[in-house]
Structure 1
Amino acid sequence: MPSTPFSPALATFFRGLAAHNEKSWFEDHRDDWERHVRDPMEALLHEAERRYGPGRVLRQHRDLRFTPDKRPYREDTGLTAGGMYLSAGADGLQVGGGLYEPSRAQLRAARTTIDEHPQAAAALQRELDELTDAGYELAGPPLKTAPRGYDADHPRIDLLRMQHYAALVHLPLESSLEDITAAWDRVQPLVRWTVKWARADDPEASDDPAPPVPGARSIHERA
């Protein structure tokens, strides 16, 4: 695949779609979507799967069944693969990964680990600190109070209040493949922590690990 997966034409397409989010406009510009959005994403997915495991490109059509927002198309594009995530749109790239919207079993397992295994909790805290120092933003928000069954003065209460274990960093749209994979590799220790301690293979887990960050749309918008 090319050393730079995306071109400015992707941003041009999504700016147009944001102004005319309707089927007739999309069909009139389908060739642009295929050339500048679909094909680069599929090529990048192939590379991501080679490195991290099975994945998929998120569908361009939005699920309108449970939302009052009836725009038919999402105004960016995204993929997931092996706990990694990337979205590309007019504002650039969001790259990272982890475990977003864990199942009840996953959340219970992670909190039990944080409570009962101080070394594992310290490893999680260290990785979160290193990610935020490197410019990543953590998925959120955390609980406002202590989770049920835990004291508010627990020594690791900040970790226990987490509801997601994922992080993203913003990159320019025309970032190189090397920069994108470096951002993915940087979040790998967090992914491995979830696999070991939060049972990230739980079949009840969300299909999409994409973690919204401040200013981003919700995971349900991305699906």
Structure 2
Amino acid sequence: MTFDGFPDEGLVFYEGLEADNSKAYWTAHRAGYEAHVRAPMTALLEELAHEFGTAKVFRPYRDVRFSHDKTPYKTHQGAVVNPEGRGAGAWYVQISADGLTVSGGCWRLESDQVARYRRAVADPLQGPRLEQEVARLRGAGWEIEGDRLVRVPAGFSADDPRLDLLKHKALHATQRWTPEDWLHTRAAVDRVRDAWRDLQPLNEWFAANVGATTKEPRRR
């Protein structure tokens, strides 16, 4: 399938799902979801796979076991590319009624990864590299997000010049675009490709300095 943009019908589907997040709505409109959301997302990712790697398309169902919100369906379609062997540093894309979101970096780090991240931030060579990259991304219109501590991390000083970065337990850069005509055309794949290329230095920093966790997978 060739990617020709995200149809407006897909955004309308999510508007309806936000208003009626029920099995009845989902069953009645599932064919629309498959044709106007999942199919174009898959086509977009296939075009990007040669450069960035194979993506994982997330399931539309929410895991409500540990959530106070028991609505069964996600009101967006997301996908992530986490190249094998990188360990840390990934690309993300999402479509919803609000438009298109792209992101890159790390969304959740295990304790051993957080420790390596902070050591790298404190390093006189690697710390400034991340600081400069974060400043560059902010200047280019990216939002720098991620879970962070309120207090000073143990073992570090309150007057550390990179304290803001040290407080992060995860860090990612995000851009969001509200729906416009280009979203429904092939221009959307160019937006995602250019954005992901812009995130390459950030992801390379994470891959080189944080890497994969050595902890055993969590059991629930």
TM-score by length of 2: 0.86
Partners of 1:12 and 1:20 in 2: how far apart?
12
**Conserved 8 A contact 2:92-2:104:** yes
Q: 1:166 aligns with which of 166, 172, 179?
A: 172
Aligned CA distance change for structure 1 residues 19 and 59 (closer, same or farther; 3 Å): same
Q: 1:104 aligns with which of 108, 111, 117?
A: 111
5+ residue gaps, structure 1: 207-223
Partners of 1:204 and 1:26 in 2: how far apart?
38
- Deviation string, structure 1 residues 32-90 (Cα, Å, up to 9, x no partner): 01100111111122233322123211110000100121111000110001211011101
Tell me if 1:128 matches 2:134: yes
Paired position in structure 2 for 1:68: 68
**Conserved 8 A contact 1:140-1:164:** yes
TM-score by length of 1: 0.85
Tell me if 1:47 matches 2:47: yes
Instruction: Give 1:13 shift.
Output: 0.4
Partners of 1:49 and 1:18 in 2: how far apart?
31
Q: In terms of mean alpha carbon deviation, does 45-54 or 102-111 score higher? A: 45-54
**Conserved 8 A contact 1:102-1:205:** no
Aligned CA RMSD, in angstroms, stands at 1.9
SS at match of 1:170: strand
Paired position in structure 2 for 1:8: 8
What is the letter of the counterpart of residue 196 of structure 1? A
Partners of 1:24 and 1:43 in 2: how far apart?
28
Task: Give matches, 1:133-148, under 5 Å.
Answer: 133-148=139-154
Paired position in structure 2 for 1:202: 213
Partners of 1:62 and 1:55 in 2: how far apart?
19
Instruction: Give 1:176 shift.
Output: 2.0
**Conserved 8 A contact 2:77-2:96:** yes
**Conserved 8 A contact 2:131-2:162:** no
Paired position in structure 2 for 1:85: 92
Aligned CA distance change for structure 1 residues 163 and 126 (closer, same or farther; 3 Å): same
Q: 1:177 aligns with which of 181, 189, 203?
A: 189
Instruction: Give 1:2 shift.
Output: 4.5
Partners of 2:73 and 2:21 in 1: how far apart?
6
**Conserved 8 A contact 1:45-1:56:** no
**Conserved 8 A contact 1:142-1:161:** yes
Tell me if 1:192 matches 2:204: yes
Q: How many residues align?
A: 204
Instruction: Give 1:153 shift.
Output: 1.4
Instruction: Give 1:9 shift.
Output: 1.2
Partners of 1:183 and 1:7 in 2: how far apart?
21
Partners of 2:70 and 2:118 in 1: how far apart?
37
Partners of 1:79 and 1:2 in 2: how far apart?
18
Paired position in structure 2 for 1:28: 28
Partners of 1:118 and 1:37 in 2: how far apart?
46
Partners of 1:205 and 1:99 in 2: how far apart?
19
SS at match of 2:125: helix
5+ residue gaps, structure 2: 83-89
Aligned CA distance change for structure 1 residues 203 and 76 (closer, same or farther; 3 Å): farther
Partners of 1:152 and 1:194 in 2: how far apart?
24
